[in-house]
Amino acid sequence: MSAPAAALTRWERVKAWFDVRFRSPAAIYGLIVFAAFVTIADDHAETVGEVLESAVTSLVVFFIAHVFAHTLTEHATHGLRRATREGMRHGAGMLYASVPSVLLLIYAAVSGMSVDDASDLSMWSTFVVLGVLGYFAYARRGARLAMRLVGAFATACLGIFIVLLEYAVH
């Protein structure tokens, strides 16, 4: 059982906020899906803005579908409002996890970067975020530094492989 919010230290509250937004299954799924959307959009977009619009719009649709699914399965137990609110909270990680890539795509658009370069930058961002998540997953398990680094690299590589599989399917 977790401690009441008032009893948590500032660091524990920050960690809890981060965990809900970036270390949840929905966040990792959103990160991978967003990277796949960027890669798919890269094939037909003429500007970085088009890539950004296509990827963000697609991710928002997936987020809405996630909230809908959560609401549909929970509203009988918790009521419509609470089920919807919880679905939005649970799925928010899908949106938060894409923020680093979105910011880099905005930078790429403003700086006049090519679509291919912007897509690569977004993919590297995804690789780094997955690596950081993998590192901390191994750290929580008490792994030594070398294993944390290997685990971070393997996590990032597996995530990028899944992005490429998604791209190949579409």
Query: Which parts of the chain sit beneath pLDDT 70?
Result: 1-6
Pair of tokens at residue 9: 């230290």
Contact assessment for residue 119 and residue 133, using Cβ atoms and an 8 Å cutoff: no
The pLDDT of residue 1: 46
Encoded tokens for 17: 């906020």
Q: Are 92 and 20 in contact (CB under 8 A)?
A: yes
Residue 159's identity, in one-letter code, is G
Task: Please give the pLDDT value at position 15.
Answer: 80
Domain ranges of the chain: 21-169
Could you please report the per-residue DSSP string of 67-94? HHHHHHHHHHHH-HHHHHHHHHHHHHHH
pLDDT of residue 8: 80
d(CA 102, CA 147): 30
The answer to whether 83 and 75 are in contact (CB under 8 A) is yes
User: CB of 139 within 8 A of CB of 148?
Assistant: yes
What pTM did the predictor assign? 0.83
